[in-house]
Amino acid sequence: MPKYRAPGRVNLIGDHTDYNEGFVLPLALDLACVVDARPTEDGRIRLRSEDVPGEVDLAADGRDLASSEGWGRYAAGVAKVLSQRGREPVGLEGTVSSSVPVGAGLSSSAALEVALALALCDAAGFEPETLELARACQEAEQVATGVPCGIMDQLASLAGRRDHALLLDCRSLETTPIRLPPGLAVVVVHSGVARALAGSAYAERRAACEAAAARLGLRSLRHATPAQVADEPRARHVVSENARVLAAADALARGELDALGPLLSASHASLRDDFEVSTPELDALVRALEEAGALGARLTGAGFGGCAVALARAAEAEQVAAAACGTYATSTGREPQSWICAAADGAGKIDS
Mark the segment that binds ligand GLA (CB under 6 A) among 84-92, 146-154, 268-276, 309-317: 146-154
Give the burial class of 53: count Cβ atoms within 10 A of its Cβ; 0-12 exposed, 13-18 middle, 19 or more buried.
Answer: exposed
Could you give phi then psi for residue 152, rounded to 5 degrees?
-55, -50
Residue 19 interacting with ligand GLA (CB under 6 A):
yes
Residue 153 interacting with ligand GLA (CB under 6 A):
yes
Shortest reach from residue 205's CB to ligand GLA, in Å? 9
Q: Which is nearer to ligand GLA, 149 or 189 (CB)?
A: 149
Q: Which is nearer to ligand GLA, 35 or 149 (CB)?
A: 149
Q: Amino acid identity of 36?
A: D
Mark the segment that binds ligand GLA (CB under 6 A) among 14-22, 96-104, 229-237, 253-261: 14-22
Residue 15 interacting with ligand GLA (CB under 6 A):
yes
Q: Which is nearer to ligand GLA, 16 or 234 (CB)?
A: 16
Residue 241 interacting with ligand GLA (CB under 6 A):
no
- DSSP states of 272-313: HHTS----HHHHHHHHHHHHTT-SEEEE-SS-SSSEEEEEEE
Distance CA 207, CA 215 (A): 12
Residue 94 interacting with ligand GLA (CB under 6 A):
no
- Among 331, 343, 315, which Cα is nearest to 188's? 343
End-to-end Cα spacing for the chain: 8
Distance CA 170, CA 189 (A): 26
Q: Which residue among the candidates 61, 64, 122, 153 is catalytic per the annotation? A: 153
Residue 16 interacting with ligand GLA (CB under 6 A):
yes
Please confirm, yes or no, whether 42 is among the known catalytic residues: no
- DSSP states of 120-136: HHHHTT----HHHHHHH
Contacts of residue 311, defined as CB under 8 A and 6 or more positions apart, other chains included, come to: 12, 184, 185, 186, 187, 257, 260, 261, 264, 294, 295, 296, 297
Under a CB-based contact definition with an 8 Å cutoff, are residues 150 and 137 in contact?
no
Distance CA 65, CA 144 (A): 8
- The contact pattern for ligand GLA, residues 284-303, with x = CB under 6 A and - = no contact, is -----------------xx-
Q: Which is nearer to ligand GLA, 80 or 195 (CB)?
A: 195
Shortest reach from residue 59's CB to ligand GLA, in Å? 26
Shortest reach from residue 119's CB to ligand GLA, in Å? 21
DSSP assigned state of 141: H
Mark the segment that binds ligand GLA (CB under 6 A) among 12-20, 111-119, 219-227, 286-294: 12-20
Residue 18 interacting with ligand GLA (CB under 6 A):
yes
Task: Cite the active site residues.
Answer: 153
* Residues at the site binding ligand GLA, with contacts judged by CB under 6 A: 15-16, 18-19, 149-150, 152-153, 301-302
